[in-house]
Amino acid sequence: MMQLTLGALNINALAAADEVIITVNPQLLAMMGLQDFLKTVKKIRARVNDRLSVAGILLTMCDARTNLCKVITEQVRDTFEGQIRIFESRIPNTVKVGESVYYSEPLIEYAPESNATKAYKNLAKELINYEG
């Protein structure tokens, strides 16, 4: 059985946060990790931070052309819809994200017209509408 281990920095961040967005890479092991992470959030909420909640699930590194991405996306929906918000925005798998990290530049400056930048902008709009 796979076990999720979070470092002290991540635990401290969850202890201080009001909300967390859970990113999920549409791979098989990510679904198991998601379940483990939700258990960790529940424990932190019970023991340390009763304000902590899950703002939603964000699918990242998506390649909508692959069957695996479609299957995992549906599995996330089937499992969590109605319980946890699943963001409509999906961050695509693109080289530009890795390049922006390598060059230490924000994606919005490094590749302002990339699909990933557009997806992050859509997520920001979705969050604003969600909070507002």
39: nearest Cα among 59, 27, 28, 54: 54
Residues in the chain: 132
Which strands form 19-24's sheet, in the order they lie side by side?
Answer: 19-24, 53-62, 86-92
pLDDT at 7: 83
What CA–CA distance (Å, rounded) separates 31 from 128?
27
Q: Which portions of the chain are predicted below pLDDT 50?
A: 1-3
* pLDDT score recorded for residue 69: 83
What whole-number distance in Å separates Cα of residue 63 and Cα of residue 70? 9
Prediction pTM value: 0.84
At residue 48, the pLDDT reads: 93
Indicate the Cα dihedral angle 25, 112, 17, 4, nearest 10°. 20
pLDDT value, residue 5: 62
pLDDT tens per residue across span 15-33:
999 999 999 888 777 777 8
**What is the Cα 9 distance to its own chain's centre?**
18
Q: Both tokens of residue 86?
A: 């699943």
Q: Residue 72 has what pLDDT? A: 84
